[in-house]
Amino acid sequence: CAPEMLDRLETFLVTTLGKGVIRAKDTPNFLANRVGVFSMLDTVANAAKFGLRFDVVDALTGPLLGRPKSATFRTADVVGLDTFAHVVRTMHAGLREDPWHELYTVPEWLERLIAAGALGAKTKGGIYQKRGRDLFVLDPVSGAHVAAGAQADGKVVEVLKVANI
């Protein structure tokens, strides 16, 4: 597409529709998905590094950070674990020169869930599982679902509540 065409399109989008425009090079995935999935993968890697339970991570990465209450791991369940893994694989294959390329891998625990047909909300089970009124969350080490509801340390929560950190 000619640069002048892009300039006219951007002018229309900004002035008529009131939209912001980000010009990006031709890389895989929608910009929002790429940023969001990168953030999720970085969170997954740090959860593993620090041995954090997925429900604790979700308690920290949802509304306390100005994000939806689905946070990180519940968002993956809502999106669909197979869909999430597909986006990750696309990033891995298409972004070989990206400085964060090492993050673009599907964790083994996620591969196991997908192989078992546990694809998230669309199959009534994934990282989280509801049994009656009880909620369970995957323990990635054992592969078992354990009672959910663990919370982050109160001191950490208080720090995250402080504005403009």
Backbone angles phi, psi at 106, to 5 degrees: -85, 120
Give the mean pLDDT of 138-156. 95
CATH number of the domain within which 45 lies: 1.10.1040.10
Average of per-residue pLDDT across 51-79: 96
Q: Does 34 reside within a domain?
A: yes
Residue type, 165: I
Q: Does residue 9 belong to any structural domain of this protein?
A: no
Considering the chain, what is the average pLDDT of its residues?
93
Q: What is the pLDDT of residue 134?
A: 97
From the number of C-beta atoms within 10 Å of its C-beta (0-12, 13-18, 19+), residue 105 rates as: middle
Query: Does a structural domain hold residue 15?
Result: no
- Asked whether residue 16 is assigned to any structural domain, the reply reads no
Report d(CA 83, CA 15) in Å as an integer.
Answer: 35
Stretch 34-41: mean pLDDT: 93
pLDDT score of 22: 80
Does residue 8 fall inside a structural domain?
Answer: no
Q: Does residue 125 sit in helix, strand or coil?
A: strand
State if pTM tops 0.85: no
| Tens digit of each residue's pLDDT (9 = 90 or more) over 79-118 | 999 999 999 999 999 999 999 999 999 999 999 999 999 9
- Checking if the pLDDT of 161 tops 90, the result is no
Residue 47 lies in a domain: yes
The mean pLDDT of 117-142, rounded to a whole number, is 96
> What integer is the mean pLDDT of 124-132?
95
Beta bridge mates, 134: 131
Examine residue 11 and state whether it is found in any structural domain, yes or no.
no
- Give me the pLDDT at residue 153, please: 93
Residue 165 has pLDDT above 60, yes or no: no
Expressed as residue numbers, the domain containing 140 is 25-161
The pLDDT of residue 32: 81
Does residue 4 fall inside a structural domain? no
Q: Is the pLDDT of residue 54 over 90?
A: yes
Which DSSP helix (H) or strand (E) runs through 138?
A: strand 134-138
Residue 137's nearest CA partner among 79, 91, 76 is 76
Query: What is the number of domains present in the chain?
Result: 1
